[in-house]
């Protein structure tokens, strides 16, 4: 038998309405959201590092200002998302502890290095591009605070995607060495960007339940397919080659056929053995330790203010 509150939850989901923090929800729904939103928040925070790498070396003041603003936006996205997760009863301290202990997931994509300036272009074009493709449907996620955070985040991501495209366009209109640097960067980021959508549908244990709860609206493979369809005409405008010799239009399917993704590499990265996993986590740990005095000072100040308020 279904309790009255559970029936109300089921009715809200069936009507494609929103669940809010004070509503009753099944444990599994709460856990799934905490899992997805905290991973998403950690991705934004760790995701500052590959681009942070170029802030001091951007090729002009204008590029530096744009990059600084973009990385700052990512910090903001992380903070909205931690707040959304907190409405489900998990604390920010716990999420942070899990991240720095290496126990929390964050997107595989941020475990790749960014050795050239062209990587700032590829990250914007491919990584933010994939993020938008995945996140636009999440604006309609059934959990209110998550869906609303996604609306703001997607607006900023679409600007990020365009600035990346523009960096690559400028390089592709440049010298042969600049064009080569842009193509090399696209070669390195293309496949990892496709892996951002998660494992193939028949190996995605969470998809069915997340779709039944209106958290996810499309499957991992459907979104990946949609992303590739968006990239092909943009790659033509840029003049870059997408590094997949098997990529071709399939008239019958009305979609692109593509080559096999290296899922062994994906699982290695998820297991902590990607090219930059150790470095990313160490940087995060160092930053956390370096911020200890700020947290202590803020807590001491808040305690003093509280005493004053009572007096």
What would the x/- binding string for ligand FAQ be over residues 28 to 67, using CB under 6 A?
Answer: -------xx--xx--xx--x--------------------
Q: How far apart are CA 69 and CA 56, in angstroms?
A: 13
Contact pick of 114, 207, 214, 277 for ligand FAQ (by CB under 6 A) = 207
**Residue nearest ligand FAQ by beta-carbon distance:** 47
Smallest distance from the beta carbon of 240 to ligand FAQ, in angstroms? 19
Stretch that binds ligand FAQ, among 176-184, 195-203, 238-246, 253-261 (CB under 6 A): 195-203
Contact pick of 199, 227, 277, 280 for ligand FAQ (by CB under 6 A) = 199
Residues in the chain: 311
Smallest distance from the beta carbon of 189 to ligand FAQ, in angstroms? 11
Closest CB to ligand FAQ among 176 and 205?
205
User: In the structure encoding, which two tokens stand for residue 309, read together?
Assistant: 């308020």
Smallest distance from the beta carbon of 149 to ligand FAQ, in angstroms? 11
Q: How far apart are CA 195 and CA 189, in angstroms?
A: 10
Contact residues for 55 (Cβ-Cβ < 8 A; gap 6+)? 64, 67, 68, 71
User: In the structure encoding, which two tokens stand for residue 134, read together?
Assistant: 């995945």
Q: How far apart are CA 90 and CA 82, in angstroms?
A: 9
Smallest distance from the beta carbon of 228 to ligand FAQ, in angstroms? 16
111 binds ligand FAQ, rule: CB under 6 A:
no
Q: What is the DSSP string of 217-274?
A: -S-HHHHHHHHHHHHHHHHHHHTPPPS-TT-EEETTTTEEE-PPP-HHHHHHHHTT-S
Contact pick of 19, 95, 196, 240 for ligand FAQ (by CB under 6 A) = 196
Contact pick of 13, 104, 120, 127 for ligand FAQ (by CB under 6 A) = 127
Per CB under 6 A, contacts with ligand FAQ among 87-106 are 105
Local structure of 23: helix, strand or coil = coil
Stretch that binds ligand FAQ, among 22-30, 94-102, 124-132, 249-257 (CB under 6 A): 124-132
Per CB under 6 A, contacts with ligand FAQ among 251-290 are 270
216 neighbors 207 (Cβ within 8 angstroms)? yes
Where b means 16+ CB within 10 Å and e means fewer, 203-231 reads ebeebeebeebbbbbbbbbebbbbbbeeb
Nearest to 128 by CA among 240, 258, 230: 230
220 binds ligand FAQ, rule: CB under 6 A:
yes
Where does this chain bind ligand FAQ (CB under 6 A)?
35-36, 39-40, 43-44, 47, 74, 105, 107-108, 123, 127-128, 131, 134, 195-199, 204-207, 210, 216, 220, 270
């Amino acid at each position: 038998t279904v309790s009255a509150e559970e029936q109300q939850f089921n009715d809200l989901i069936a009507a494609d309405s929103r669940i809010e923090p004070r509503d009753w929800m099944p444990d599994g729904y709460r856990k799934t959201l905490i899992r997805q939103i905290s991973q998403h928040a950690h991705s934004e925070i760790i995701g500052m590092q590959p681009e942070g790498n170029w802030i001091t070396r951007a090729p002009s003041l204008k590029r530096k200002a744009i990059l600084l603003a973009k990385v700052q936006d990512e910090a903001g996205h992380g903070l909205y998302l931690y707040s959304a997760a907190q409405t489900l009863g998990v604390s920010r301290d716990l999420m942070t502890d899990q991240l720095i202990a290496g126990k929390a997931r964050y997107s595989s994509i941020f475990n790749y290095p960014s050795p050239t300036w062209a990587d700032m272009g590829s990250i914007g074009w491919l990584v933010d591009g994939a993020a938008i493709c995945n996140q636009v449907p999440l604006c309609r996620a059934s959990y209110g605070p998550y869906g609303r955070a996604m609306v703001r985040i997607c607006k900023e991501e679409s600007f990020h995607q365009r600035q990346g495209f523009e960096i690559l366009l400028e390089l592709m209109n440049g010298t042969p060495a600049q064009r080569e640097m842009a193509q090399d960067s696209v070669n390195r980021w293309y496949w990892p960007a496709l892996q951002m959508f998660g494992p193939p549908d028949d190996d995605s244990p969470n998809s069915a339940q997340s779709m039944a709860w209106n958290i996810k609206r499309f499957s991992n493979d459907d979104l990946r397919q949609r992303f590739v369809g968006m990239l092909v005409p943009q790659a033509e405008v840029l003049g870059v080659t997408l590094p997949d010799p098997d990529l071709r239009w399939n008239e019958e399917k009305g979609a692109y056929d593509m080559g096999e993704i290296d899922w062994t590499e994906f699982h290695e990265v998820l297991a902590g053995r990607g090219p930059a996993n150790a470095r990313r986590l160490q940087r995060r740990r160092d930053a956390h330790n370096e911020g200890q005095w700020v947290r202590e000072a803020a807590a001491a100040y808040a305690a003093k203010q509280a005493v004053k308020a009572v007096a």
